[in-house]
Amino acid sequence: MQMATRQKRATGPTGAAKTGLSIRDLRIAVNRGPELVKGVSFDVAPGKVLALVGESGSGKTMIGRSILRLLPDVIAPTAGEILYNGESLVTAPDRRMRDLRGGSIGMVFQEPLVSLNPAMKIGTQMAEGMRLHTDLGEAEIRKRSIDMLRRIRITDPEGCLEAYPHQFSGGMRQRIMLASVMLLKPGLLIADEPTTALDTLSQLEVLETMIELARDQGTSVLLITHNLGLVAKYADDVVVLRQGETVERGSTARILAAPQEDYTRRLLDSVPTLETESARGQDLGEVVLEAEKVELSFGQGRTLLTAKPRKKVLKGVSLAVRKGEIVAVVGGSGSGKTTLGRAMLRLAETEGGRVLFRGQDITGQGDRALRAFRRDCQIVFQDPFSSLNPRMRIGAIVAEALRHDPALTKTQRMDRARQALIDVGLPDHLRRFPHELSGGQRQRVAIARAVVSRPALIVADEPISALDMTIQKQVLELFETLQSQLGFACIFISHDLAAVQQIAQRIVVMHEGEIVEEGSCREVFANPQHDYTRQLIAASPMLARTAGAQEPTGSKGIHA
């Protein structure tokens, strides 16, 4: 009887028809402050997928969190209604919301490592919701957890239950988080940017698994994303948001094929597209940096009680980059692309092979001998917020890259920093701190810091993966402009095939520590030779524009 009561409480009021999620004229504001969400309305029917799309700051995540009443204390709905199966979630008592969270409405967050408790085993975390919302015994909970892990294609589900979150890749953690949420068969799933930092293959696995589970269980999905490629492939309907307001809404097919609003068209124009007929051309100079049969392994080799084999991460990799050239290094998580970039910059010690800078072997040189090399070769990291000192002002952060240049005075260093910020479009940000900037602005600062020393080569490590589409396009265009003006060589590390195609002359595909394919972007995209390359291209969520009949809006036909 007790279990029946719990199940009834988790599925809504007695006798209520399943009408899904309905949001009417929702307004959200800061206490005694500005309105952040301004009269948004939409419905998510049972079993359907609705996508909320828009740039950072458009209010997407805020709306998703408001459904489960997970907003910060200083932010709250001020008007409108949120209904789930006819029941108000705005006025529901706290006890009722505790029943609904997890039991009837699940949420998958953007970063699973933050959502999963690092000190608890996976099995304990998966079982928590079942213990709260059902009266199942421990043996049945374990059985269902193993079955769900097997369902999401975890190869060793029993071992997974005994492992900790840090022992898994980002894609695996997101699938485990999804399994934990879907164990309770929620009627509504809120997926908040569930694939942002994942490579294309992991994105495909996570999204396919999520949609498959949702369809099998009849779950409605609210997909919060800035990736219109994913929207085209998975969503039935779409709502376009800008600064808290609805710009456009309707069926995905109609919105993508014939957008009515300029903002929607601008979002679509910022999405990278697969174009095998074009290629960037440029006269190239001497080889700036070269790796010859570089080998590198990770792991301790031996613990106190057992010998553990070291994992070979780079297996005799060779790569040369010329002056004025942008070489894209692509591959899935764990393919070795970031490790290769760090090894070529001597930020990771190699076990075999050589690294040559302008023909000189720098493999065994010490820090003092590498000082000039450090000035000439710079790096742009994936997450600018963690790589920018929060206590330093932007001008000082950029000028710091010149601190080892004996030819410059302090005033000259600051003048160069000011000019670098002007070059990246931030002329008035010299005195600001990193927390005062948006994600796109912080990435511009990271680029300014990299180019201020006028280096011979820059390694850009996933510089756009966490940015929304319009900011991605701006950063790519900025990077391309600076590279054209300054002529530095570049290793552009990314899992976004469409993005690298926009900026690179040559592409290198890595898989399990080896280069499996290499060539011009046009050749590789038009005629991939390796199965892994074909898998990456097939998994990339790009929009393909067709030269069909012109729509009334002047846009071209668009499909996934």
Q: Are 99 and 64 within one domain?
A: yes
pLDDT category, 529, cuts 50, 70, 90? Answer: very high
CA distance 518 to 234: 31
State yes or no: pLDDT of 281 exceeds 60: no
Q: What's the confidence (pLDDT) of residue 272?
A: 67
Mean pLDDT of the chain: 84
Domain-embedded: residue 282: no
Q: For residues 380 and 459, what is the distance between their CA atoms, to the nearest angstrom? A: 6
What is the DSSP secondary structure assignment for residue 251, as one 8-state letter?
Answer: E
* pTM (global) more than 0.85: no
- 393 with 318, same domain: the answer is yes
* pLDDT band at residue 387 using 50, 70 and 90 as cut-offs: confident
Q: Are residues 441 and 474 in the same domain?
A: yes
CA-to-CA separations, 186 to 13, 130, 237, 500, in angstroms, rounded: 15, 12, 20, 38
493 or 385, higher pLDDT: 493
Across 47-74, average pLDDT: 91
pLDDT at 278 over 50: no
- What pLDDT score does 280 carry? 53
Pair 389, 252 in one domain = no
Distance CA(124)–CA(132), nearest Å, equals: 12
Sign of CA dihedral 447, 450, 454, 456: negative
Mean pLDDT of 369-387: 84
- Specify whether 263 is located in the same domain as 370: no
Largest Cα–Cα separation, the chain: 82
Q: Are residues 239 and 333 in the same domain?
A: no
Span between the terminal Cα atoms of the chain, in Å: 49
Answer yes or no: do 398 and 339 share one domain: yes
Instruction: Provide the residue range defining the domain that includes 229.
Output: 2-111+188-269
Span 509-518, pLDDT tens digits: 999 999 999 9
Residue 438, pLDDT > 80, answer: no
pLDDT higher for 40 or 385?
A: 40
Q: Mean per-residue pLDDT for 169-194?
A: 86
The yes-or-no verdict on residue 51 having pLDDT over 80 is: yes
| Whether 434 and 512 share a structural domain | yes
> Is residue 137 in a domain?
no
Q: State residue 555's pLDDT score.
A: 34
Q: What are all long-range contacts of 544-549, with beta carbons under 8 Å and residues at least 24 apart?
A: 544/273, 544/274, 545/273
Instruction: Note whether 260 and 312 are same-domain residues.
Output: no
**CA triplet 205, 219, 46: central angle to 5 degrees?**
135
Distance, in Å, from the CA atom of 470 to the CA atom of 269, rounded to the nearest integer, reads 9
If one compares 304 and 66, the residue with the highest pLDDT of the two is 66
Q: Where are the alpha helices (DSSP H) in 381-495?
A: 384-387, 394-399, 410-423, 439-451, 469-486
In the chain, pLDDT over 70 holds for what percent of residues? Answer: 88
Asked if the structure places residue 389 within a domain, the reply is yes
What tokens does 369 get?
Answer: 């001998």
Angle, alpha carbons 541-544-545 (nearest 5°): 150
Average pLDDT over residues 176-202: 86
**Is residue 130 in some structural domain?**
no
Residue 196 scores a pLDDT above 80: no
Residue entry with tokens 């710079």: 378
- Separation of alpha carbons 334 and 512, rounded Å: 7
Instruction: Encode pLDDT of 287-342 as tens digits.
Output: 999 999 999 987 655 554 555 567 788 999 999 999 999 999 998 877 889 899 99
pLDDT value of position 353: 93
Average pLDDT over residues 111-139: 87
The closest of 194, 123, 135, 204 to 164, measured between CA atoms, is 123
Of the ranges 252-261, 338-347, 546-555, which one carries the lowest mean pLDDT score? 546-555
291 lies in the same domain as 247: no
- Would 146 be classed as within a structural domain? no
d(C-alpha 358, C-alpha 318), whole Å: 15
pLDDT value at residue 299: 64
- pLDDT reported for residue 470: 80
Q: Answer with the residue of higher pLDDT: 18 or 426.
A: 426
CATH number at residue 325: 3.40.50.300
Beta-strand relationship, 287-298 and 311-322: antiparallel
What's the pLDDT at 308? Answer: 58
> What total number of domains does the chain contain?
2
pLDDT of residue 471: 81
Distances (CA, A) of 117 to 120, 122, 166, 183, 434: 6, 9, 10, 18, 28
Q: Tell me: pLDDT of 544 over 70.
A: no
In a domain, 332, yes or no: yes
Q: Which residue has the higher pLDDT, 25 or 285?
A: 25
In terms of domains, do 441 and 536 share one?
A: yes
- pLDDT tier for residue 455 given thresholds of 50, 70 and 90: very high
Q: Is 132 inside any structural domain?
A: no
Let me know if 428 is exposed, middle or buried by CB neighbors in 10 A (0-12, 13-18, 19+). Answer: exposed
Residue 116 lies in a domain: no
Q: Residue 366: pLDDT band by 50, 70, 90 thresholds?
A: confident
Question: How long, in residues, is the chain?
Answer: 560
292 and 433 housed in the same domain: yes
